[in-house]
């Protein structure tokens, strides 16, 4: 269908009707998730296999193969959902395609082994909407991803896209739009949580011209990929939001600053922008209203700090991405010292919803302080990893168990990290109980810190900040008992040290010194005054850092100390890593459970495993570098991670009692 300029809301309505009419209702559409995650899993061969198979069966005219954006259930990719029934096939391989075409497409039968099986109830669930992972979500922003080809503007229009834009430009005044956004309670989804309506109002009021509207797509938090999937899967929603915002603020120039590491997002966004321009929904004289606004895509250079608004604008100007003081706000003087309004990708994507369905509807979702939904990237030690969109106020329990499906293996939850390197680690369930009577050296830990579990914490901006973390951009990393909190804090500090721009003293030197202290602790050279020293340094660094990277750098340390002080004490006083991660404090040893399967032999990088098939294996304590590869691989729970030096004892005892195993069942591991 050739691009035709839409020059009025009526044109848009008619175009939508035409597209829908041209499409067969209830046509069978095979949607294949083609987000970066599923691409890496190999969805492209699946898609081409389908096309070939359908052609061979002569069904290529009746059945459509549509590659869509990210569906969110990244754990189970490549995903194939057959519409209109919504039959959900997971972990599809090209070799499965023929069977799907033969049985499901032609005969309406199911291919059982590709269906989803709930790991907790073992139940088989056929339809996507019934799968708990999806059922318990509220996929307002993300929902369209599964139904549309991101490179097709017609798909977006057919699903009702750009109606909000038409209404905003022709039936509302700029001030009305700002009021609506204010009333909805929308807060920034990039991490700051600043009320979006208030920001727009300040920018509108600011003196200076031209004004800029910027989309922050420099999603740098490790473990967060919501913005990527939104831009890859539904770029038009972001474009629509930006045009509405630009109209409300009075801007004609827009930029989207995308991380260089997201090539597919850049590609799909550029295609969408071109299509929108051709249809008169972007560029000059949008929808025939005379309002002009255009968007330029700019790529980042690989710097986490460029997610900070002033650093982003410096990078947009072609300079090094160093932040500057925000005593004068960017809405007053930002990009090239002009008033600039910066919002996150997800924030922009929420705007068309608010305009379409109204602020009251939006404010009805969520809690008193945090309205609407939030997309989280649920990753780590949880069964169902992927992107989940939930209403604000949902509890951690519902997310981790209800949607996440619990922790894999025989393990227990330990902690959840939200807000990325600027956020905090929250204790979820206390597994490692501390008996203060048996270990009097831990008497110094306050009672309330020890007893907590935050599994029932409602997730919203205020609550997360109250308990020492923050919402952040939405990365939610789940950790189990095999994660050491000192190591986690060390990991984040190392990340921040690499990403610090180095301009201001406290961040550049402070993070370096704190990392040295943490490294010392993790290597068994910790001193009793180290925790107090870290707390003192954290106060000064948080007080005097120039930008939020430095200001929030102490958060991972402070939150892990708050909830896991005993773990720190174990490292410092006992010289022991309870989780068995910190190399200098741990010894790996094989115990009595070993059944001689020899699986650990090859992965060992130093050839430290001694043993032959069906015999008790041992780890050479001198060669072992504590990498944990054997621990990862062993299906029989035979690898013990004990305090440094105690490995020999374990292996001696094992040798005494070990008997050759006969037909043992492996321990259940997902």
Q: Which of residues 377-406 bind another protein (CB under 8 A)?
A: 377, 379-381, 385-386
Q: Which is nearer to another protein, 280 or 307 (CB)?
A: 307
- From the centroid of its chain, how far is CA 515? 25
Q: Which is nearer to another protein, 216 or 229 (CB)?
A: 229
Q: Which is nearer to another protein, 281 or 388 (CB)?
A: 388
Q: Which is nearer to another protein, 408 or 648 (CB)?
A: 408
Tokens describing residue 378: 């649920």
Where in 14-53 is the site for another protein (CB under 8 A)? 36-37, 39-42, 44-45
Q: Which of 117, 135, 357, 539 touches another protein by CB under 8 A?
A: 539
Q: Which of 325, 451, 613, 657 touches another protein by CB under 8 A?
A: 325
Q: Tell me: does residue 526 bind another protein (CB under 8 A).
A: no
Provide the 10 A C-beta neighbour count for residue 467.
18
Q: Tell me: does residue 318 bind another protein (CB under 8 A).
A: yes
Where in 227-256 is the site for another protein (CB under 8 A)? 228-229
Q: Which is nearer to another protein, 74 or 467 (CB)?
A: 74
Q: d(Cα 274, Cα 295) in Å, to the nearest integer?
A: 10
Q: d(Cα 259, Cα 216) in Å, to the nearest integer?
A: 9
Angle ∠(253,186,360) on CA atoms, nearest 5: 120
Where in 430-489 is the site for another protein (CB under 8 A)? 475, 477, 479, 483
Q: Which is nearer to another protein, 212 or 401 (CB)?
A: 212
Where in 273-292 is the site for another protein (CB under 8 A)? none
- DSSP annotation of 294: E
Q: Where are the beta strands (DSSP E) in 232-281?
A: 253-258
Q: Which of 128, 155, 219, 356 touches another protein by CB under 8 A?
A: 219
Q: Tell me: does residue 159 bind another protein (CB under 8 A).
A: no
Minimum distance between the CB of residue 79 and another protein, rounded to whole angstroms? 11
Q: Tell me: does residue 188 bind another protein (CB under 8 A).
A: no
Cα–Cα nearest to 244, from 356, 359, 364, 362:
356
- DSSP annotation of 102: I
Q: Tell me: does residue 225 bind another protein (CB under 8 A).
A: yes
Q: Which of 196, 340, 344, 500 touches another protein by CB under 8 A?
A: 500
Where in 624-653 is the site for another protein (CB under 8 A)? 625, 627-629, 632-633
For tokens 């205020």, what's the residue?
Answer: 462
Q: Tell me: does residue 669 bind another protein (CB under 8 A).
A: no
Where in 541-560 is the site for another protein (CB under 8 A)? 541, 543-546
Cα–Cα nearest to 658, from 600, 616, 598:
616
Q: d(Cα 285, Cα 305) in Å, to the nearest integer?
A: 36
Q: Which is nearer to another protein, 164 or 572 (CB)?
A: 572
Q: d(Cα 494, Cα 516) in Å, to the nearest integer?
A: 10
Q: Which of 53, 74, 457, 639 touches another protein by CB under 8 A?
A: 74
One-character DSSP codes across 273-290: HHHHHHTTSSBSSGGGSS
Contact criterion met (CB below 8 Å) for 240 and 272: no
Where in 409-428 is the site for another protein (CB under 8 A)? 417, 420
Q: Tell me: does residue 528 bind another protein (CB under 8 A).
A: no
Query: Considering only 90-98, 134-142, 454-462, 637-645, which stretch makes contact with another protein by CB under 8 A?
Result: 90-98
Burial letters 479-501, b for 16+ CB under 10 A, else e: bbbbbbbbbbbbbbbebbbebbb
Cis peptide before 644 (omega within 30 of 0): no
Q: Which is nearer to another protein, 262 or 658 (CB)?
A: 262
Contact criterion met (CB below 8 Å) for 382 and 73: no
Minimum distance between the CB of residue 599 and another protein, rounded to whole angstroms? 10
- DSSP annotation of 666: P
Contact criterion met (CB below 8 Å) for 303 and 321: yes
């Amino acid at each position: 269908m050739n691009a035709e300029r839409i020059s009025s809301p009526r044109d848009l309505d008619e175009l939508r009707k035409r597209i829908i009419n041209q499409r067969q209702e209830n046509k069978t559409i095979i949607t294949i998730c083609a987000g970066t995650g599923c691409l890496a899993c190999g969805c492209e061969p699946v898609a081409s296999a389908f096309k070939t198979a359908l052609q061979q069966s002569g069904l290529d005219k009746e059945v459509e193969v549509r590659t869509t954006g990210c569906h969110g259930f990244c754990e189970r990719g490549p995903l194939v959902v057959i519409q209109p029934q919504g039959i959900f096939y997971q972990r599809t391989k090209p070799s499965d395609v023929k069977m799907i075409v033969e049985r499901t497409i032609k005969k309406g039968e199911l291919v059982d082994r590709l269906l989803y099986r709930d790991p907790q109830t073992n139940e088989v669930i056929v339809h996507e909407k019934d799968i708990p992972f999806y059922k318990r979500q509220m996929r307002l922003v993300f929902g369209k991803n599964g139904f549309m080809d991101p490179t097709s503007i017609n798909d977006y229009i057919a699903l009702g896209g750009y109606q909000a834009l038409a209404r905003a430009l022709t039936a509302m005044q700029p001030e009305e739009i700002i009021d609506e956004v204010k009333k909805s309670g929308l807060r920034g989804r990039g991490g700051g949580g600043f009320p979006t309506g208030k920001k727009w109002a300040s920018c509108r009021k600011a003196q200076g011209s031209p004004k800029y509207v910027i989309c922050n797509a420099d999603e740098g938090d490790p473990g967060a990929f919501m913005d990527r999937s939104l831009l890859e899967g539904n770029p038009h929603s972001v474009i629509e939001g930006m045009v509405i915002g630009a109209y409300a603020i009075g801007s004609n120039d827009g930029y989207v600053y995308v991380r260089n590491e997201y090539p597919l997002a850049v590609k799909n966004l550029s295609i969408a922008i071109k299509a929108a321009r051709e249809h008169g929904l972007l560029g000059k004289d949008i929808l025939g209203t005379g309002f002009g606004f255009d968007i330029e895509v700019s790529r980042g250079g690989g710097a986490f700090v460029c997610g900070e608004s002033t650093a982003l604008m410096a990078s947009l100007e072609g300079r090094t991405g160093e932040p500057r003081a925000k005593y004068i706000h960017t809405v007053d003087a930002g990009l090239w010292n002009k008033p600039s309004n910066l919002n996150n990708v997800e924030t922009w994507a929420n705007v068309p919803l608010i305009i379409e369905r109204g602020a009251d509807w939006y404010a009805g979702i969520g809690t008193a302080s945090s309205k609407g939904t939030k997309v989280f990237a649920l990753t780590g030690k949880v069964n169902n990893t992927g992107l989940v969109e939930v209403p604000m106020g949902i509890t951690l329990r519902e997310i981790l168990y209800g949607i996440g499906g619990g922790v894999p293996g025989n393990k227990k939850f330990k902690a959840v990290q939200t807000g990325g390197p600027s956020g905090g680690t929250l204790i979820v369930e206390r597994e490692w109980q501390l008996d203060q009577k048996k270990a009097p050296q831990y008497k110094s830990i306050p009672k309330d810190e020890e007893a907590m579990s935050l599994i029932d914490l409602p997730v919203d901006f205020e609550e997360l900040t109250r308990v020492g973390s923050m919402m952040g951009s939405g990365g939610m990393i789940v950790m189990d008992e095999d994660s050491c909190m000192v190591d986690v804090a060390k990991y984040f500090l190392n990340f921040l040290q690499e990403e610090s721009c180095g301009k201001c003293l406290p961040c550049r030197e402070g993070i370096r010194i704190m990392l040295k202290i943490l490294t010392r602790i993790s290597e068994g050279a910790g001193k009793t005054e180290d925790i107090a020293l870290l707390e003192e340094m954290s106060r000064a660094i948080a007080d005097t850092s120039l930008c939020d990277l430095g200001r929030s750098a102490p958060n991972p340390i402070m939150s892990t100390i708050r909830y896991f002080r005993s773990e720190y004490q174990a490292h410092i006083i006992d010289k022991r890593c309870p989780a068995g991660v910190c190399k200098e404090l741990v010894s790996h040893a094989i115990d009595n459970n070993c059944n001689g399967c020899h699986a650990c032999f090859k992965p060992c990088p130093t050839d430290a495993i001694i043993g032959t098939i069906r015999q008790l294996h041992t780890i050479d304590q001198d060669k072992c570098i504590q990498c944990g590869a054997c621990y990862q691989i062993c299906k029989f729970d035979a690898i013990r991670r004990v305090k440094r030096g105690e490995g020999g004892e374990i292996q001696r005892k094992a040798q005494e009692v070990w008997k050759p195993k006969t037909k043992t069942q492996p321990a259940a591991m997902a």
